[in-house]
Amino acid sequence: MKTETQNLLCIPLVIFVLSLFINGVSSARKPPDLCNRVCGGISIPFPFGIGGKECYLNPWYEVVCNSTTSVPFLSRINRELVNISLPDATEYYSNGVVHIKGPVTSSGCSTGTSQPLTPQPLNVAGQGSPYFLTDNNLLMAVGCNVKAVMTDIKSQIIGCESSCDERNSSSQQVRNKICSGSKCCQTRIPEGQPQVIGVNIEIPEGKNRTEGGCRVAFLTSKKYSSLNVTEPEEFHSDGYAVVELGWYFDTTDPRVLRPIGCKNVSDASQDGGYGSETICVCSYGYFSGFSYRSCYCNSMGYAGNPFLPGGCVDIDECKLEEGRKRCKDQSCVNKPGWFTCEPKKIGQIKPVFQGKSQFEYILSVVLKILSFWSVLYMLFFCWCRCSYRFGTVAFRLWNFRVVQVYQEAEEDQSKERVLQA
């Protein structure tokens, strides 16, 4: 009897444990990312990473986070990170972008010498380097009587000259839009292969080297004009200028798997078009000695990181203003990659599965109901057991008291007979 009772108690316990397991299926499907993905408030998405080798694609993508200052550095090029961006879904054949702090070359700035202080050049070269200077960067010089010249540019001479003589500069309207030579100058640099690039300061012919005060020259992706450019001393005191580097995803590593559900727009045999059923889009190419791919999530209805398995996640437009505004009084129904607006059906309640399959959802509901009744069953069983035991004890006490009273009555009657005799 005792064994049967224990078996009955085990049944609701098993149901309760099963319900907990089913409810945890969705969260167990994607293991948590054990890598640190933030340093100093800057997001570090894969293929970049901090920590162990499993956190980044290869050493070119390794980020070192200073434990004292929480400042991130790109390890291989030893430059401080400003931000990292994945390929832009709004631009066809786009690449990823990182912004770093580049060096500033200065001359005559609070050092008591007119000789230029030339820092180490920006080195984004090397076998397998995924980085290159984008065409958003400009070579700039700020100050009077200064000429900025780029070094290590093969077969090209790139530079610009700045003067404080406004008579030799462009019109005021042009100066307000760009650095055209008054107080500052700028010129574009070619986009191409990664290389070691330095910036030198030269004094234009016929100008005095000791005159002109502080002069600086640097590469930067930030836009300046004669209206918003600061004094050269401020650039010198900052010690850096923001530079934009493009990057590609190296596919030569055998650990890199081909993305599932992504459209290859580089394949000439395909039409190149894609719809909402396409989760992500990839282009392929060859760069700096390695093959690469550049991917982005289909902006029609997905977001996330296309370089991670299952990284592109469906956007629930029904929870956004886009879905609410378009559907208005109708019911917004989210679907993979898109959504539809359907007429509301009176009295019909549509369950929201919240990422679970229909089978998992129904099973979890059934188990929750069983768990509820199992708890009630256990409470009722315990109440019955306690009531039974309490009743048994009460009955025995009552029976004992009746016997005791009966015995006392008999003793009294015996005493009375003795007295009468």
Chain centroid to Cα 24, Å, comes to 24
What is the predicted pLDDT for the residue at 303? 92
What is the per-residue pLDDT for 360? 60
338 beta partners: 335
Which of the listed residues 291, 326, 350 is the one where a domain comes to its end? 350
The answer to whether residues 139 and 164 belong to one domain is yes
Residue 392 lies in a domain: no
- Is residue 381 classed exposed, middle or buried when 0-12, 13-18 and 19+ CB atoms within 10 A define those classes? middle
Residues 160 and 297 both lie in one domain = no
167 shares a domain with 103:
yes
Say what the pLDDT of residue 65 is.
94
Residue in this structure with the two tokens 């948590």, named with its chain if needed: 32
| Per-residue pLDDT tens digits for 70-103 | 999 999 999 999 999 999 887 766 899 999 999 9
pTM for this entry? 0.69
Q: Are residues 322 and 302 in the same domain?
A: no
- Specify if 24 maps to a domain: no
Q: Is the pLDDT of residue 45 over 90?
A: yes
Cis-peptide into 119, omega within 30 deg: no
Q: How far is CA 404 from CA 151, 399, 410, 416, in A?
A: 116, 9, 10, 19
Asked if residue 266 and residue 154 are part of one domain, the reply reads no
Is 376 among the domain residues? no
d(CA 72, CA 65): 4
Same domain membership, residue 225 and residue 123: yes
Are 162 and 179 spatial neighbours (Cβ–Cβ below 8 Å)? Answer: yes
Task: Give me the DSSP letters along 198-267.
Answer: EEEEEPPTT--TTSS--EEEEEESS---TTT---HHHHHHH--EEEEEEE-EE--STTPPPPTTEEETT-
Q: In the chain, what percentage of residues exceed pLDDT 70? A: 67
pLDDT of residue 206: 67
Domain count, the chain: 4
pLDDT at 72: 96
Q: Which residue has the tokens 């050493």?
A: 59
The CA–CA distances, whole Å, from 282 to 264, 278, 303 equal 5, 11, 14
387 domain residue, yes or no: no
In a domain, 357, yes or no: no
Q: Please identify, among 247, 268, 287, the residue that sits at the C-terminal boundary of a domain.
A: 247
**pLDDT at residue 113 greater than cutoff 70:** no
Range of the domain at 175: 96-247
Q: Are residues 39 and 133 in the same domain?
A: no
Of 90 and 211, the one with more pLDDT: 90
**Residues 265 and 198 placed together within one structural domain of the fold:** no
Strands (E), 309-402: 312-314, 331-335, 338-342
| Same domain as 142, residue 103 | yes
11 domain residue, yes or no: no
Asked if residue 290 and residue 277 are part of one domain, the reply reads yes
Instruction: Indicate whether 293 and 338 sit together in one domain.
Output: no
Amino acid letter, 346: I
- Residue range 283-333, pLDDT digits in tens: 899 887 789 989 999 888 899 999 988 889 999 999 988 888 899 888 999
Q: Is the pLDDT of residue 31 over 70?
A: no
Domain final residue pick, 213, 228, 247 = 247
Tens digit of each residue's pLDDT (9 = 90 or more) over 115-139: 567 788 788 878 888 998 888 888 9
- Note the pLDDT of residue 265: 84
- Tell me if 401 is assigned to some domain: no
Distance of CA 53 to CAs 62, 86, 124, Å? 8, 20, 21
pLDDT digits (tens, 9 = 90+) for 336-394: 888 999 998 765 444 544 444 455 657 777 777 877 777 777 776 666 666 656 556 55
What's the pLDDT band for 47 if we cut at 50, 70, 90? very high
Residue 16 lies in a domain: no
Supply the pLDDT for residue 24: 37
Rounded Cα gap, residues 158 and 1, in angstroms:
96
* Pick from 255, 231, 381, 345: nearest CA to 308: 255
Q: Is the pLDDT of residue 53 over 70?
A: yes
> Which residue's structure tokens are 């910036």?
199
Residues 137 and 172 in one domain: yes
